Structure 1
Amino acid sequence: MTIRYPRPLRPGDTIGVTAPSAGVVPALQERLLHAADVVRAKGYDVRLGETPTGEGIVSAPAEVRAAELTAMLTDPAVRAVVPPWGGELATDLLGRLDWDAFGADPTWLVGFSDVSTLMLPLTLRTGVATLHGQNLMDTPYDVPEGIVGWWDVAASAQDGGALVQRSPRRFRSSGWDDYEHEPEVSTWTLDAAGSWRRLEGEDPAAPVDVRGRLIGGCLETVSLLAGTPYGDVARFAAEHAPEGLVVYLDILEWEALEVGRALWAMRHAGWFDAAHAVLVSRTHAPDSDGFTQHDAVRDALGDLGIPLLADVECGHVPPYLALVNGALARVQHGPEASVITQRLVP
């Protein structure tokens, strides 16, 4: 089997907005509407579902969220589905979705955080590429130099051409923008400097140059799929990735010991058997009594004999790389630059 990509976005295509996890509370809905207008200004129609304005832990009952997501992912007029953001309980949709139907005429599913709870199984089960990138609420931000927006990735030609992104080596040190009082904010505050860090081996400055199919998501949610029919990375590697894998993980808020336990569970489930490298995000999550977030990665994965790169822009700390689950990637890292090149090839 090979990877299949939704067709590239074209001017006039419809972008669907649904909230399969959390909706947007009234105080922040002006940001939601502004973000939709930004997408329209890029040349697309926007279809707002009913769930994005839902309140509570989830935007609507599971059957309602599943129905709206299904309607958008199977409507031939909708060429990308971009939730406003993640949430907590997208996992309650997994048994309610017809994965084969989503693969019949693939549509881009875009986002990160809890949206990866759905994107990862879609790619693993069907071989359809999904796009781990900015959520809708992040779309108004100017993309830092070196990074590509989800809209440009989804519109790119699928002829094997290279999508090159470089770490800007700057990030946001803390906090979030105030969407209630500044709903049109469009500039990231990248007030701290920092590069990727190599965690394994005797020489942390040794260069990295590896290739493999990208696969990953938010650690706090996708780790709980390991060992289930929705998180069978080993099977995906055997069926779709003879080139091996580059696994990326977004660490949101778990303490280091929780991260370590999750990584061990994923390792036991075969997540890293075909990995040529593991990328973990920069995180503001806490350490555990002197056991750091980097220690957790070293403890669980340090003897795999593959590069382990930390502080990658694949998490909740802005800015955000756009990573295509299923794309063939080359990861290069050294003192001068950190680069990821993707090719949307079968």
Structure 2
Amino acid sequence: MNYPDFLDINDTVGYVAPSFGCAIEPYRTAFMRAREVFSKKRLSEELGPNCFADDGIGISTTPEKCAREFMDMYASETNQALISCGGGELMCEILPYMDFEVIYRAKPKWFMGYSDNTNLTFLLTTALDIATIYGPCISSFGMDPWHRSIRDAFDLLTGADTVVSKGEDGVITVTMHNYDGWEKESAKDEEHPFAPYQISELFIPAIYGGREAEGRLIGGCLDVLNNIAGTRFDRVKAFNSRYADDGVLWYLESCDLNVMDMRRALWHLRECGWFENA
């Protein structure tokens, strides 16, 4: 697995919109504040050309332009990490226009995003063996105050000792944890673009079999993963084989699927061989 370098002071963060951009409120205003926050933390920025685009269907602009922006920004030597502007609906349509060889030849850098961004956070890891971060998009860093999960995501990007440690043998260990609760209904809107998470639901763990587990952590949005499975972009069986000795841990969340959709999706992934070595 190729692990990118952590961000350092005076490094540059690139902002890209392979899914939705930050063209509408409250995301635009939250994005502007997040940029100010990062600047105060002594990080520079490189804006992709689609960050404020809104002429696309289900994504910021045309699939061709979205793919080109991501490839150019990933290959750019100006920035050292990429953060997505937002989630969306049809990021899958950029995949046929992606030249993954461009990404493979470039120096590995962190790409962070969630939901629709699974299309790339997942494929960069399973197809190209590049570690990615399934985490908040840039407008979330505009909230005030930061939720602990936002702080952890930033600390992970920067290799802070709150989540990252290095042993005497040189092995880097990242320690993350779950949180006490989660947000069911967001208070973020045009009048409250900086609203923090409204934690209203308790996290209730369910451990079946009472066993501890370890392995390579992969996953993302189930809606997207189900869409990728069985296509020419599917490299999961090779990934599972490559890390058979380590085992695989899956994390899954869903956006639009109902309960039966989820069950069908899990059946599909299982029959595609995705859960071998899990």
TM-score by length of 2: 0.88
Describe the shift of the 1:147–1:44 C-alpha distance in structure 2 as closer, same or farther (beyond 3 A): closer
Q: What's 1:184 paired with?
A: 194
Residue among 1, 25, 28 paired with 1:27: 25
Q: Distance in 1 between matches of 2:88 and 2:2?
A: 27
Q: Which amino acid aligns with 2:142?
A: P
Indicate the SS of the match to 2:124.
Answer: helix
Q: In the TM superposition, what are the counterparts of 1:84-99 in structure 2 within 5 Å? A: 84-99=85-100
Which has the larger share of strand?
1
- Runs of 5+ consecutive residues of structure 1 not aligned to the other structure: 276-346
Q: Distance in 2 between matches of 1:184 and 1:59?
A: 22
Q: What's 1:62 paired with?
A: 63
Residue among 7, 10, 13 paired with 2:11: 13
Pairs aligned (count): 265
Q: What's 1:250 paired with?
A: 253
Q: Distance in 2 between matches of 1:136 and 1:91?
A: 20
Residue among 250, 255, 272 paired with 1:269: 272
How big is the shift at 1:133? 0.9
Moved more, 216-225 or 43-52: 43-52
How big is the shift at 1:50? 2.5
Indicate the SS of the match to 1:52.
Answer: coil
Indicate the SS of the match to 1:33.
Answer: helix
Q: What's 2:126 paired with?
A: 124
Residue among 201, 205, 217 paired with 1:196: 205
How big is the shift at 1:148? 5.2
TM-score by length of 1: 0.72
Q: Which amino acid aligns with 1:161?
A: I
Contact kept in structure 1, 2:188 and 2:194, CA below 8 Å: no
TM-superposition CA deviations, 1:33-60 (whole Å, max 9, x none):
1122222222211122221212252211
Q: Which amino acid aligns with 1:245?
A: V
Describe the shift of the 1:72–1:147 C-alpha distance in structure 2 as closer, same or farther (beyond 3 A): closer
Q: In the TM superposition, what are the counterparts of 1:132-281 in structure 2 within 5 Å? A: 132-141=134-143, 142-145=145-148, 149-156=152-159, 159-172=170-183, 174-185=184-195, 187-198=196-207, 200-201=208-209, 206=210, 208-275=211-278
The list of structure 1 runs, each at least 4 consecutive aligned residues, that deviate by more than 6 angstroms after superposition, is: none
Moved more, 32-41 or 214-223: 32-41
The RMSD of aligned alpha carbons is 2.0
Describe the shift of the 1:256–1:180 C-alpha distance in structure 2 as closer, same or farther (beyond 3 A): same
Which has the larger share of helix?
2
**Are residues 1:110 and 2:81 paired?**
no
Q: What's 1:100 paired with?
A: 101
Q: Which amino acid aligns with 2:178?
A: S
TM-superposition CA deviations, 1:12-46 (whole Å, max 9, x none):
11111111011233333112211222222222111
Contact kept in structure 2, 1:31 and 1:180, CA below 8 Å: no
Q: Distance in 1 between matches of 2:15 and 2:93?
A: 19
Indicate the SS of the match to 1:65.
Answer: helix
- Runs of 5+ consecutive residues of structure 2 not aligned to the other structure: none
Indicate the SS of the match to 1:162.
Answer: strand
Q: Distance in 1 between matches of 2:116 and 2:150?
A: 22
Indicate the SS of the match to 1:63.
Answer: helix
How big is the shift at 1:273? 0.7
How big is the shift at 1:143? 4.9
How big is the shift at 1:125? 1.2
Identity %: 26
